[in-house]
Amino acid sequence: MEFFLDTGIVEEIRGAAPWGIVDGVTTNPSLIAKSGRSQKDVITEICTIIDGPISAEVISTDQEGMINEAKELATLHDNVVVKLPLTEAGIGACKVISGMGIRTNVTLCFSPNQALLAAKAGATYISPFIGRLDDIGHSGVHLIEEIRAIYDNFGYPTKILAASIRHADHVRLMALAGADVATMPIKVMKSLFQHPLTDKGLSSFLADHEKANS
């Protein structure tokens, strides 16, 4: 399973990069806005830190506008993946730019049917928002399981990128459900390291070492 950081804050990415477990980065207009910088500048800098897929989202809502933006974003770096919304225009744009060899991440997916459309349009990634489904009483895990079954049934190469991850247990559930990628905020990635017995064991080892060498 690949781990992506979901952030537009470059400092967070620089801090996590030395761990060696960050395979890529996802951004969106809201995350970029928090950085207070332009999307071009943020994406370009991220590409110098992480050698992996870096998602940058279009702002246009019409198909032609999305295609033009996608072509421009793709020139920023070879690692850029263009994010498109799961709308009629977005799926149409996905089909066109995928045919140009531009990698795509179709976002705001909430149903298996939507995921099927993205795969048929040649999407590189599909981003189901599991946390937002859980928030309204639906099962994000069940959605991932259904998409996995559909893609496996027909051999679609589109990768399932579990998004809107709220906590560490979401990561565990996504891995069990067969998601290819989990994208998460820095606080969730940090929480994956944590367990009280690890802390307790380390404290005990260090205390015993100090006694033995005092």
Active-site residue, from 40, 83, 187, 190: 83
d(CA 198, CA 188): 17
DSSP 117-169: HHHHTT-SEEEEBHHHHHHTT--HHHHHHHHHHHHHHHT---EEEEBS--SHH
Would you say how long the chain is, in residues? 214
Residue 120, phi then psi, degrees to nearest 5: -65, -30
Question: What b/e string do you get for 98-108 counting C-beta neighbours within 10 Å, with b at 16 or more?
Answer: beeebbbbbbb
Residue 153, phi then psi, degrees to nearest 5: -60, -40
Pairing type for strands 2-6 and 54-57 reads: unpaired
Q: Which two tokens stand for residue 145?
A: 């399981």
Active site residue 83: yes
User: Which residues pair with residue 82 across a beta bridge?
Assistant: 56, 104
Active site residues per annotation: 83
